[in-house]
Structure 1
Amino acid sequence: MAIKLYGLPMSTATTRVLLCLHEKGVDFELIPVNAFSGEHKQPPFLSKNPFGLIPVLEDGDLTLFESRAITAYLAEKFKETGTDLVRHNNLNEAALVKVWAEVESQSYDPAIKPIVDQYLMAPALGKEPDQSIIDTNLEKLKKVLDVYETKLSRTKFIAGDFYSIADLHHISHTYLFMKTPSASLINDRPHVKAWWENISSRPASKKVGEGMSFGKK
């Protein structure tokens, strides 16, 4: 039975899982959830995720939500195939992957997401971007990227000299951020820029990027 993924290809959380599935070469079925009409807030979907958020993954009788938990499950279940995203044969490298995956979720994503939301989501919803939110979070993101610039001057990828789930988790929001007027924050940091160009040029990244038409049904 093929894995089922409920979500949208332009959703950053859904694309996080799509990237993992493609890196692993896993067969799956993407089942669109019309978030624009509120389908994710209706009882059939709420029975899968009571918080009413996409994506949801079904693997046989197992149902999972929260995109990072889903990618962790997939990376472990399919650790022998495709890209080794968790470095399961090296305890030290695996620990570093966990550290930098936490950095992404606790420091990078909270800074970059509001910027993307204001530049791209607000206009899609017919609202004016709130420049104060953008400015506040740009300052936060600059500090995070300064740390990344130093780290990436020593290693090719964020956790080490290997591509991992820690890199993968950065792709969705960074892909959209690079379409905003603030993309220079990445481009002006040579090691961060080289890292971004590397991870965004992977076949899985290119494939998923084709579906990320933000703000469109």
Structure 2
Amino acid sequence: MVVKVYGYVHASCPQRVLLCFLEKEIEFELIHVDLDTLEHKKPDHLLRQPFGQVPAIEDGDFKLYESRAILRYYSNKYTDQGTDLLGKTLEQRAIVDQWMETETNYFNALALPIVVNLVLKPKFGKPCDFTFVEEQKVKLEKIMDVYENQLARNRYLAGDEFTLADLTHMPMMNIMNIIGLSSMVTTRPNLNRWWNDISARPAWKKLIEMAAN
């Protein structure tokens, strides 16, 4: 059965889910939700996602929202299909979860407000708080140092294999590059090596092609 993904192909959270589906070779249908017209705040979408965000999925009678919950569910449901994104042992899975939590609570928590101020606020005619952005950048640089140290010891964030720990970072990392923050990655050799590696994956290239069309 084809999974319906309600979202916007240029937004980081839907991209996270789409990338997982491409890695796991899961059939899906992307149903566009127009964020510019606030379609995600309308009653039909609120039945799928009561907080008015994207993405949300429908898999037959099963419905789920929150991108990271969707990642975990489908990576477990299709363990033997496509890329193994979970880790092979209980300990490896714990490390994957650790770095997914790190992405949520440290990396994304700092990067997202920067994107909101530099991109979304001007788009909707609101002023960017440049002082706040610079403060966030300083904090994010310190987080990137932690990643650099981790990747000096490991090929990927959770060890020797590409997993959800890496995948969940990719959409926001890409947005950072687009809006002029690429130096946070390129000035750190291990982080830069990691990004060049994971962004060369066929599934990521397919996602970028989807976003370009």
Whichever residue aligns with residue 113 of structure 1, its letter is L
The reply to whether residue 109 of structure 1 matches residue 108 of structure 2 is: yes
Q: SS in structure 2 opposite 1:196?
A: helix
Distance 1:179 1:135, change over 3 A: same
Whichever residue aligns with residue 29 of structure 1, its letter is E
Structure 1 Cα separation of the partners of residues 174 and 117 of structure 2: 15
Residue number in structure 1 paired with 2:40: 40
The reply to whether residue 153 of structure 1 matches residue 152 of structure 2 is: yes
The reply to whether residue 166 of structure 1 matches residue 152 of structure 2 is: no
The reply to whether residue 22 of structure 1 matches residue 22 of structure 2 is: yes
Alignment of 1:111-190 (within 5 A): 111-190=110-189
Residue number in structure 1 paired with 2:72: 72
Residue number in structure 1 paired with 2:49: 49
Shift of 1:211: 4.1
Structure 2 Cα separation of the partners of residues 181 and 36 of structure 1: 23
Structure 1 Cα separation of the partners of residues 166 and 180 of structure 2: 23
Shift of 1:163: 0.3
Residue number in structure 2 paired with 1:99: 98
Structure 2 Cα separation of the partners of residues 19 and 37 of structure 1: 25
Give the TM-score normalised by the residue count of structure 1: 0.93
Whichever residue aligns with residue 77 of structure 1, its letter is K
CA offset digits 1:183-208 (Å, max 9, x no partner): 21111000011111111111111221
Shift of 1:156: 0.4
Distance 1:211 1:122, change over 3 A: farther
Give the TM-score normalised by the residue count of structure 2: 0.95
Q: SS in structure 2 opposite 1:48?
A: coil
CA offset digits 1:162-184 (Å, max 9, x no partner): 10001000001110101123221
Gaps of 5+ in 2: none
Structure 1 Cα separation of the partners of residues 209 and 93 of structure 2: 30
CA offset digits 1:102-144 (Å, max 9, x no partner): 1111111111111222222233323443211211111111111
